[in-house]
Chains A and B, each alone.
Chain A
Amino acid sequence: MSTTTLIVIGLIAAALLIWIIAVFNSLVALRVRVQNAWADIDVQLKRRHDLIPNLVGAVQGYMAHERSTLEAVTEARTKAVTLSSGTVADRAQAESALSGALSNLFAVAEQYPQLRAVESVKLLQEQLTSTENRIAFARQFYNDEVMKFNTAQATFPRNLFAGMFGFSPATMFTAEEPERANVQIKM
């Protein structure tokens, strides 16, 4: 073999190597984004847990007759907090139970007009509405990122390397039926 052929082969090999490195790095970047998006959902769920005691404390005085509703919310929250290091399936169930209890609380609160006039309760309600939205948007972002990551892995010719480097498709976050019934808050 002449030196020119060697040089050409070397150049092609170097280009291939650079390309493989680029593919690997882009997949890693996408995976990090997916992990980050998952962590974002966590943050928002935690925020909801932190807000609920405040809300219960604020409305307690006005809703003395609705003890059972309030207790259901507190219980659901406690369960969600204790399960927050458990499996994803358990967590999803606990969180959807909490959503249900919360929506029940807001439905009952509709019957107390004096409650809706209190500024601090309004602010708390807004914060909870926002948290519900944030959870939804964080989930949407997560799913978008998962879609990008999975598409990047599945398309030719990257699918040849993805498995080799140990990448596997991430799973979408799909809400279960009770979770899908969103909390309705009338402002």
Chain B
Amino acid sequence: MATDAVRPVIIGPRDRESFFEAQRRNRHATWRLSVVSVLATVVMGIPLALTITPLLYAAALIIADIVSIWAPLPPSFWQHANELARYGMVAIAWLGQGKATHPQALVIGAAVLLLPGAILSVGLWLGVNALFRRAGVGGALLALKAREPNQAELKELQLADVVQEMSIAAGLPAPKIMLIDAPAANAAAIGTSPNDARIVISRGMLEQLNRDELEGALAHLVASIGNGDLRIAFRVTSVFETCGLLVAIINAPFGRRSRGTLWRIVRYGLFGKKDSESSAQEAAAMAALLTRSVGLDTDDIDDVFDTASHKKSIFRSVRTFLLFPIFFTNMAIKLSLWFFSFSMLGPSMALLWRKRKYLADACAVQLTRNPDGLAEALRKLNSDRGPIPGGTWAAHLFLVNPAGSDRMNDPKANAAQQQMWVQMWAASEASKTNNSSPPALADLPSVMKQITATGSAAMAGDANAMARMMAFRQAAATALGKSVDEMPNLADIAAAQHGDKAALQHLAEFSNKMKANQPAASDSQESADNSSNFAGFFPSLKRRLKRLDRMGAHVELESDGGKSWIVIAVLAVLLGPFALAALALLLLLIAIMVMASLAFLMVWMAFIHELFVVFLHH
């Protein structure tokens, strides 16, 4: 643990904070935010329950009608049903017109309208929980193509040792370690509880970090496991998965895709074996399917109601007529799910998760007593991150955001990159002229100017400039550790511009190869779409570094002089009224949808019930 780098003396912030203090603060914040999250879930549950309950009643009524064809139900049953309906009507009247009635009747009415839907939702949530808890982490590890570390290799042995050390420092049993052979530098704690927790770390990260930094990063993960973050993460995702399941169920009468998802889940729930590879994979695939189906995805419904693309037939119009009220229910559910998860549930859970990250950072400082290690690790990981193939659904479990844009531009990383450009240019010069005199290291702007000038000269047909550019290509390839074929070939581009077919062929091959090397690009796109709220699950690097700085890390923070706050305040004042108006409009729309769904379903229920009664009496 030799720290021989000389650190510049920086006068620390005045608001220093011990890690114990930081931990306590973040624990309290977690409590507050989990209360907010639970409240948000309950608020979201009200319109959901209001729309789901009538569906359940409709189903029950139709079943009762069908049963009474063969075995007439006792009249007392219908009496009770009537009474229930009356209480429900009281509540609906109050909702619609604000008619004051007996408070007791109102409470019973609200219970009649809300309870069945709420019970169904909670039941689904418990089911989803049980399902994915049984599935465990095997599927995720398979999707990531994780492997065990090789104890005979120095770097991987070091990794295993550091994890052991951190577990000893935290007084926890050491979690298992798995390696992913991915170039992107990142690591995650994956699991459903501390018992089956795994630390997954990419080979790229192992290459990038020195021992102190590795210690900091792994201390964060070990502390996060010890804090019980895996349970929280599991619960958060299970809420979103339950929403997805609800949408799938509500879509089932309309679409083949939703039916397929549903069928897979049922089959898995009934026949899935605990420890088999294929079922673990299936579970991971389902988790991805469910989280994706939240949102305003109307493909299945449009398919049914898009009359233009189908031939008219009696069967189809009867079906359309029968399903029409459910269309409103469907839209009401989706709209309220989307709205509430966007505006309340998503942000509150995202903020909660950020607090857990800060908490784990503070705990990591406690374990290592070296805030610089973690700060430097975060900085490096952030400048070197990239999508982890197969890791999108577990993106929130990683140390730094594997995808998405973090706007913090890192002066140190930029400086390193500039240095590299200058060196590459200088190296190519030396190799071209073959003289051993060290090239003068010019500053980056002039080098960039030189490169573009030479490049355009080469494109114009200057053979000398072209040779220079090819040498630069060679130097860049060696500096980046790639083969020359992996760098863009300027000669081909120039030739292609003059209509050389062979060069065009080369370029096509090159772009294909590039595409093949980056299979994860679409992956990251997907995860960006997945998070259907405006608050990300990751705190920005700047804020994390600022907190580490308070705990004593030597971080050079960019001081933006609080200007961003002014911009945000001005924006809030300007756009606030519009946002509020939009919010109110959306809420109104949801209310209208819910009421429409209620009204249509009631009419529909009455109509079908009358049909049965008429047929039964004749």
Contact = CB atoms under 8 A, between A and B. Distances in A.
Interface of A: 33, 36-37, 40, 44, 119, 122-123, 126-127, 129-130, 133-134, 137-138, 140-141, 144-145, 182, 184, 186-187
Contact of A44 (B152, B168, B170, B369): B168
B151 to A, nearest CB: 8
Interface centre among B170, B171, B211, B369 (most CB of A within 10 A): B171
Given A40-B168, A123-B154, 17 more contacts: A33-B171, A44-B168, A126-B157, A127-B161, A129-B1, A130-B162, A130-B164, A130-B165, A133-B161, A134-B164, A134-B165, A137-B165, A137-B169, A141-B169, A141-B170, A145-B171, A187-B211
A123 B168 CA distance: 21
B158 interface: yes
Nearest to B369: A140
Question: Main SS of chain B's interface residues?
Answer: helix
Given A122-B154, A184-B2, A36 B164 contact: no
A22 B152 CA distance: 49
B169 A140 contact: yes
Contacts of A186: 2
A37 B165 CA distance: 13
Interface centre among B165, B168, B171 (most CB of A within 10 A): B168
Contacts of A184: 2
B81 to A, nearest CB: 47
Interface string B141-157: 00000000000101001
Q: How large is the interface on B (under 10, 10 to 19, 20 to 34, 35 or more residues)?
A: 10 to 19
A138 B157 contact: no
A161 to B, nearest CB: 25
Contacts of A37: 171
Contacts of A44: 168
A138 B211 CA distance: 18
Among all A-B residue pairs, the 6 with the closest Cβ atoms = A130-B161, A137-B169, A137-B168, A133-B165, A141-B171, A138-B168
A89 to B, nearest CB: 24
30 contacts: A33-B171, A36-B171, A37-B171, A40-B168, A40-B171, A122-B154, A123-B152, A126-B154, A126-B157, A126-B158, A126-B161, A127-B161, A129-B1, A130-B158, A130-B162, A130-B165, A133-B1, A133-B161, A134-B165, A134-B168, A137-B169, A137-B367, A138-B168, A138-B169, A140-B169, A141-B170, A144-B366, A145-B171, A182-B1, A184-B2
A29 to B, nearest CB: 13
A166 to B, nearest CB: 24
Interface of B: 1-2, 152, 154, 157-158, 161-162, 164-166, 168-171, 211, 366-367, 369
A33 B166 CA distance: 17
Contacts of B211: 187
A36 to B, nearest CB: 7
Given A130-B161, A133-B1, A184-B2, A141 B154 contact: no
Contacts of A145: 171
Question: Main SS of chain A's interface residues?
Answer: helix
Contacts of B367: 137
B534 to A, nearest CB: 39
Contact of A141 (B1, B2, B164, B168): B168
Interface centre among A33, A127, A133, A140 (most CB of B within 10 A): A133
Nearest to B151: A123
A136 to B, nearest CB: 8
A119 B411 CA distance: 38
A174 B311 CA distance: 86
A177 B434 CA distance: 58
Interface centre among B2, B164, B165, B211 (most CB of A within 10 A): B165
Nearest to A131: B161
A126 B2 CA distance: 13
Interface centre among B161, B162, B367 (most CB of A within 10 A): B161
A134 B366 CA distance: 15
B364 to A, nearest CB: 13
A66 to B, nearest CB: 23
A134 B164 CA distance: 8
B157 A123 contact: yes
A138 B162 CA distance: 13
Contacts of A123: 152, 154, 157
Nearest to B161: A130
Nearest to A140: B169
Nearest to B368: A137
B524 to A, nearest CB: 35
Contacts of A129: 1, 161
Contacts of B154: 119, 122-123, 126
B517 to A, nearest CB: 31
B157 A127 contact: yes
Nearest to A33: B171
A134 B167 CA distance: 9
Contacts of B169: 137-138, 140-141
Nearest to A185: B2
A180 to B, nearest CB: 14
Nearest to A142: B171
A117 B1 CA distance: 20
Nearest to B166: A137
Contacts of B166: 137
A141 B366 CA distance: 10
Contacts of B369: 140
A133 B166 CA distance: 10
A44 B167 CA distance: 13
A66 B348 CA distance: 65
A141 B157 CA distance: 23
A134 to B, nearest CB: 5
A161 B2 CA distance: 46
A57 B157 CA distance: 20
A140 B168 CA distance: 9
